[in-house]
Structure 1
Amino acid sequence: MTIDIDLVLDSSLPQNRLTELGLLAEQYGIRTVWNASYLDGRDPLTNMSDLARRSTSVRVAPMALNAYEMHPYRIGMALLTLNEIANGRAQTMIGGGGEVVMALDIPFEKRVRYVRECLEIVKGMCTSRPFSYEGELFRISNYDPQWVTAEPPVLYAGANRPQMLQMAAKFADGIFMSDLSPSLSRSAINTVHERMAEIGRSPAGFRCNNFMAWYVYDDPEEARHEAKRWIGFRAIFREYMMREFMSAEDFAIILEHIPQIYAMASKNESSVDGVPDELLDQCVDNLTLTGGVDDLDRIIEHLLEFKDIGLTEICLEVKNYPEQGIRLIGERILPAIQ
C-alpha cells in the first residue's frame, strides 16, 4: 500500500508566491496543495486559480469550506469553476466550521446535518445534471450547467468523531482528520469501514487523510519555538486526544489557559505564565512534527506508523522556510515512506 504526501500552504501568501511554491511541490511529486480559508487569510478558491492554471499534475484544494458561512450552491459553483481551470485536479474538504463561523456569530447547530447536506449538494452538482435537492436545511432546483467537462472533484469530509465519520462513510469520497495519533487514526478508519460494511459500500478508492503541522528547521530551537507559538491552533482543547499523553490534572491546566496559549501566535511567544514549559513540550511532541534536520529519521518512523494503519495520505502544514520544507519532504520523506 502506498501513501501520498499533501501540503498546506499559508493562507496569507499572495497568489504569485502560492503558485511558485505549489509548482515547486509539483516538481517533488507532492500530490495535493491545500490552502485554508481563515478569518484573516486570502480567499483560497480565488488564490489557487493561477496554480490550477499553470500546474499539470498537483491537485489544488481549498479547505475547509462549510455551509454556515457559504451556501452549498456557491461552494459547488466555485469548486466546479476551479476544477475546470485545473482540468479535473481540484478537490476540497467540507467541514463543520471554525474561527470564521465564530467571528460571524453563527450558531454551531446541527453540525453533522450541515456537513452532510453540503456534501450531498456539492456532489450532486458535480455528478448529476440536471440536479435538484430538497433537504432539511437547503434546497436547489434544476442546476444544469453546460460548461462542465472535467472529471468531478474529490470531496472530503472533515471528520474526527464517530457521528461525522459514520456520515462521511456514506456521503464523502474521503475523510480528512486533524492532529490524530496513529491509534486514534486507526480507530477513525475502522469506524468508517464498519459503517461502509453496514451500508454495502466498498472502501476501495476511499481516501483517508490526516493533517499534521510541520516544524522541521535547521535550528531545532527555532523549530520548537515556532511549534509552541502556534500550538493553540492544534487540538489542545480535545480531551479524548490530549488524555492519550497527558494526565487529567495537566489537561485542566491547559484548558484553564487556552486564551493565553492561543495568543502566543500573534505575540511571537512560546511560553505562558501558569503553564509549565514541559506541558507545552508534550503538546508539541504529540501533536506536531517538530525538530531539526537530524530528527528526520525519527519523523519518518512516525509517519510510517500512519501508513501501516491505512492512511492514504498525510497532509503537512509548512509555515516558515517553505522551500526548504518542500525540498526536505520531497527528497527525504517521500522516498522513505512510499
Structure 2
Amino acid sequence: MGEFAEDTVDGEWRPDILGDGFEYTTLHFEDDDEGPVSATLVRFRPDSGGGTASTTTQGRVRAVLYLHGWSDYFYHRRLAEYWHEQGVHFFALDLRRFGRSLRKWTTPGFITDLTEYDEDLTTAKRRIHDDLKALLGDEADVELVGMAHSTGGLVMSLFAARHPETFAALILNSPWLEFYGSTPLRNTVGSLLTPLARRNPRQLVKLPEVDHYWRSLSREADGEWDLHPVWRPRLAFPIRAGWLLAILNGHAQVSKGLNIQTPILALYSERSKLGLSFVPEMMAADSVLDVDVNLKRVLSLGNNVTVVRIADGMHDLLSSSSDVREGAYAAITRWSQGYLR
C-alpha cells in the first residue's frame, strides 16, 4: 500500500500490507462534512502452520477484535499469530481517520464524541460474525473478545459499557483512563476547552511536540518495528480542541464507574518515564502515560478487573523488547486459561 489504502467494495477482502495471511476490507459509512467516511477491518487467516483457530468444546467460535491507540494502526503480526496459536480467530480494526482508514481529505484521528466509534465497532462485530459463519457454517456461535491499546482501551471500555452484549471479555494494554495529573486538572482543562471546541472543534491545541515514543518503536531509530510513515508518524497527529474534549469527557465517564460485567485484564508497565526529551530509560518504561494515575482509575471499569504490571514494559507492552513482550503474552495466557477456557 502507498500513502493511503485503497477502498474495497462490500464483501471484498484484499491482501494487506502485513503480508501472508493478512487481508483487509473497508467498512463504508455515510459521508460527513469532509467527505466519505470508512473504517478498515483486518483479518488473519494463514493457510497453514502455527495452530488452528477452531470452535470451542461447546460449539462456540472465539474471535479477538483488536483496537489500536492514538496516532496508530494495527501492525502487530506477532499478536495475530499468538491468538491463532491459541485456536482463536483474529481481527483488528483501524478506526475512521486512522491507519488504513486515513484518506487525503480527512483530518487524522479527528472526532468530537467517542460514541461516533460505535458505528465502527458495531459494523466490525457484524462483519466478523458474517465472515466466521461463512467460513464455519450458520450454526457457529461467535464469542468475541475485545483487545485494545491506550486510547483504544478508553474507546473500547466505554463502548463495552454501552453495549454489554458485544464482548465476552476485555484485554487492555496500557489503557488511557485518566488525564495527566488529577481529576481537578482534567476538569479545569475541560472548562477552558469547551467554548473553543464548540466554536471551532478543529482548532489546534498547542502542546509540546515530541518524538521519543516513535523513537522507542521505529526501526529507523531505537526500536525494532517497521512503521508506516503516514499511519504512525514521527510526531503524533496534531491535537485538536474537539478531539481533546471528547477524550476528557470519556475520562469523566470512567471516573464515575462503567460497571462492565465481563472479565477485564488490564496490563500496565511497572513505571513511567515522562519528559520532553528522549532518554534511554524510555525503552523500558511507559513514556506516554502516568501509570500510577491510570492504575487508580482502572478499578472503575467494573467489578472483575485483573491488573498485571509488566517489568520494563514500554507504553505498548506488545511492542517492548522481545523478552518483555513475551512476558506480557504469558500474562495474557495465564489469565485466559481461567477466564476464556
Question: Which category of TM-score, normalised to the shorter sequence, fits these structures?
Answer: 0.3 to 0.5
TM-score for both structures, normalised by structure 2: 0.34
Structure with greater helix percent: 1
